Structure 1
Amino acid sequence: MCTERFLTRLERVFARLDREPERPAHIDVPVMSRHRVVLFAATLAFYAAIVWAVLITSWLVRLDWQLMFFRPYQQWPEVHAFLDYYVVLGQRGPTAVMVAAWLGWRSWRQHTLRPLLALGVSLLLLNVTVGAAKLGMGRLGPHYATSIGSNEMWLGGDIFPSGHTANAVVTWGILAYLASTPRARRWLSALSAVTSLGVGLTTVYLGTHWLSDVLLGWAAGLLILLALPWFEPLIARAEAWILSLRDAWWARQSAPAASPALGPAPAGGLPSATASVGASPLRSPAQDPATARDTSVAARSARPPLHLSSGPHSTRSERIPVTPAGSRRPPHSDRAPRSTTSARPVAGG
C-alpha cells in the first residue's frame, strides 16, 4: 500500500521558495559610469533646450498649435476608446501600485529591500523635480489656451512638463534598472521605452498636452533614471537601518520578560539610623533617596503577612491540648444511634 503524501501546488511553491538563497550573488548594483554621466549631461542639455525653445516661442510652439488645430482625436475616432484606457499606464497611482506589488514580491523572494527602496527614491525625485517645474513655469494646456500662437507660460497652469509621460518613463523604466541579468535589462528597457512613448503620444492625441510637454516629460523621467546610481549608497544605508530595526524588534519579542525580584531582608531587621547616616554622612536618611528606598524595601520585607496575627505566638509544646467534644465520625442517617442499655449478643448463644 502506498503511504507517500503528495504535495499540493502551493506547498511545492513554498518548498521552492525555502531553497532560495539569502541574497542572490549575481545581482549587480549599477554605478555612475562615464557612459551614464555622458548620457545624463546630454539629456540635461536636451531638457534645457526644450525649455528655452518654449520660452522664446520658437518653431516648437508653432508646431504645438498646429497639432492642436489638427485635433487627432477627431481624425481617428475609432481608437479613442482604447487610448482612454491605455493612458492609465501613465497615471501615478495605478502604475505605482502595480510596480510596487511586483517589486514587493521580488524583495520578499530575494530577501532584500533594495527594489522597493529604489522605487520610493525614484518616485520622490519625480514628485519633487517635475512638480517644481510644473508650478514654476505655470503653462496652460491646449484646452485652456488663451492666445493663439503664444507659449501660455506663467498663467497658473501645471502642464509643462507632462506628468503622465515622466511617470511612465520612471515607473516602467525602474523595472529595467532593477533587472538582474543583462538580457532582462535589454528587454525591459525596450518595453518601458515603447510604453512611455505610447503614453506621451496618447496625451497629444487626446489634446491634454502639447507636444513640447511630452518631449520635456521624456527628458525629465530619463534624468531621474540616469541619476539613480548616485542614490545607491543612501539606499544601502536605509536598507541596513531598516533591517537592524527589524532584528532589534524580533529580539525584544523573543526575549523572555524578566520579573523584578526583591532581595532578602537584612538579618538585623530594619537598618538603624546610625547605619543610614554612616552610608551617607552628608545627608540624613530622609534626604538620601537611595537610603530611603532601601529602608522602605526592608520595611516591606520585614512586615508580617496579612493572614498572620501580629501578636506573640507560643511554641507547640506550651499549648494546652484540647479534646474535641462528640464523635469524630460523620453522622449517618441510615444507622440507629447506640444506647448504653442495649445488650450485646452472647457469643455462641
Structure 2
Amino acid sequence: MRTERNLTRLERLFARLDREPERPVNLDVPRMSRHRVVLFGATLSFYLAIVVAVLTTSWLVTFDWQVMFFRPYQQWPEIHAFLDYWVVLGQRGPTAVMVMAWLGWRSWRQHTLRPLLTFGAALLLLNITVGAAKLGMGRLGPHYATTIGSNEMWQGGDIFPSGHTANAVVTWGILAYLASTPRARRWLSAASAVISLSVGLTTVYLGTHWLSDVFLGWAAGLLILLALPWVEPLITQVEAWIFSLRELWRNRRSGALPAPAPAAATPAMVPQRVSPPAPEEAPVREPVGAARAVRPPGLLAPGPHTARSERTPVTPAGSRRPPHADRVPRGTTSARPVAGG
C-alpha cells in the first residue's frame, strides 16, 4: 500500500527554492508601458498640486493646523506606545537592512545582482529628490511652528515632504516591483500600500509632520517606483561590468593569465643544423675456442705469489710469532740428534 506524506508549507517553500539553482532566463523586468507613463504623469501632477497648495497657504494649510490642534496623540493615548514602534517601519536604516538581507539572499539564489542594484538605485533617487526638496523648501514641523495659520516655509526646517512616508513607499514597494509572479506582485503591492499609509498617518498622530507632508511623501515615493524602468538599462550595464570584474579577479587569482606573444627570432635563438649521428659499428664477435688474454686478478696484491705456508703474518707492530733460534726455515737440512741405543 502506497502512502505519501503531506508536505508542510515550509517544506513546499524550500522544495520550490531548490528548483531554482540558476539564474532565471525569462526574468520579468518591468518596462515603461503607456499605463505606467500615465500613472507617472498623474502622480507628478498631484505632487506639484500639493506644493502649490502649501506655497499659496490654501485650505490645505488651514487643515494642517486643524489636525495639529486636534492633537491625536492626546485623543487616543492607548495606542501611543505601539505606534512609537510601528513608525520604525519608515526609518531608512532599519528598513534598508531588513530589505537588503532578503534581496541579497534572493540575488545569491538566482545568481543575479539586479535586486540589490535596483534597491540601491531606488534609495539613491530617494535621497537626491526628497533631500533636495526638504532642504529647498525648509518647512518647519508642527512642534516648531511659530505663526498660526502660516505655511512655515523657508524657515530652515526639513520635513516637507515626509521622509518616513517616502521611505516606506520605496522600501516596501520595491518588493512588489521585483516580484517574479503577478500574484506575488499584487499581494506585495497591497502590503506595501498598507504599511506606507499607516506609517504616514502615524507621523501625523505623533505630531512630527503636517498632513500635507505625508501627502507629498506618498507622491514622492510613488514617483521613484514608477520611474525605475527608465533606470533598468543602466542597472543591466552595471551588473555586466561587475561580473566582468569578478571573472578578471578569478583569473588573476587562479593564475590563468593569457599566454605571452612569441618573441621575434634572433640569430642566437636560431637552431643550428645538427648532422645525423654516425651509425654504430657492429660489435666484433670472438670465434669460439679462441684464446683470451689472461687478465690479472684485480683483487690480488702486486708482486710474486708465494705459498701460504711461506707467508709470515704481519701486524702493524711486526710479526706475531716469537723468535725461535733453533727453528730453521723449510727447505733446508739440519742436523738432528739421532736417538738410539
Query: TM-score band, normalised by the shorter chain?
Result: 0.7 to 0.9
**Identity in percent:** 79
Q: Summarize the Cα distance change of 1:135–1:87 in structure 2 as closer, same or farther, 3 Å threshold.
A: same
Structure 1 residues 244 and 18, CA gap change in structure 2 (3 angstroms):
farther
Alignment partner, residue 342 of structure 1: 320
> Structure 1 regions of 5+ residues with no counterpart?
1-12, 268-336, 345-349
So what's the TM-score if we normalise by structure 1? 0.71
Q: How many residues align?
A: 261
Structure 1 runs, 4 residues or longer, greater than 6 Å off:
13-18
Structure 1 or 2, whichever has the larger Rg, is 2
Tell me what 1:199 maps to: 199
In structure 2, what is the Cα distance between the partners aligned to 1:164 and 1:140? 16
CA 1:122–1:99: 2 relative to 1, 3 Å: same
* Structure 2 CA distance for partners of 1:80 and 1:222, relative to 1, 3 Å: same
- Describe the SS at the equivalent of 1:104: helix
For residues 200 and 140 of structure 1, what CA distance do their matches in structure 2 show? 17
Moved more, 62-71 or 213-222: 62-71
Maintained 8 Å contact 1:27/1:181? no
Q: Check 1:190–1:16 CA distance in 2 against 1; reply closer, same or farther (3 A cut).
A: closer
**Residue 117 of structure 1 aligns with which residue?**
117
1:241-252 alignment, distance < 5 Å: 241-252=241-252
User: Partners in 1 of 2:319 and 2:245 — Cα distance?
Assistant: 91
SS at match of 1:135: helix
Cα shift readout 1:280-323 (whole Å, capped 9, x = no counterpart): xxxxxxxxxxxxxxxxxxxxxxxxxxxxxxxxxxxxxxxxxxxx
What is the letter of the counterpart of residue 232 of structure 1? Answer: E
Root-mean-square deviation (Å): 2.6
> Which AA in structure 2 matches 1:42?
A
2:208 alignment counterpart: 208
Per-residue CA distance 1:125-162 (angstroms, 9 max, x = gap): 00000000000000000000000000000000000000
Q: Distance in 1 between matches of 2:256 and 2:45?
A: 61
Deviations 1:161-200 (Å, cap 9, x if unpaired)?
Answer: 0000000000000000000000000000000000000100
Compared CA separation, residues 16 and 166, structure 1 to 2 (3 A)? closer
**Does the CA-based 8 Å contact 2:46-2:219 persist in structure 1?**
yes
- Residues 1-349 of structure 1: pairs in structure 2 closer than 5 A: 20-255=20-255, 338-343=316-321
CA contact (8 A) 1:165 1:200 kept: yes
TM-score by length of 2: 0.72
SS in structure 1 of the partner of residue 319 of structure 2: coil
* Structure 2 unaligned blocks of 5 or more: 1-12, 270-314, 323-341
Structure 1 pair 239–214 and aligned structure 2 pair: CA distance change class (3 A): same
Query: How many angstroms apart in 2 are the aligned matches of 1:27 and 1:174?
Result: 16
Is the partner of 1:158 in helix, strand or coil? coil
More helix by share: 1
Which range moved further: 19-28 or 163-172?
A: 19-28
Number of the residue aligned with 2:293:
none
Q: Are the aligned partners of 1:26 and 1:180 in contact in 2 as well (CA < 8 Å)?
A: no
Match of 1:301 in 2: none
1:193 partner letter:
A
1:166–1:220 CA contact under 8 A, matched in 2: yes
How far apart, in 2, do the equivalents of 1:162 and 1:29 lie? 29
Question: Is the 1:169–1:222 Cα contact (8 Å) retained in structure 2?
Answer: yes
What is the distance in 2 between the residues matched to 1:187 and 1:131?
Answer: 30
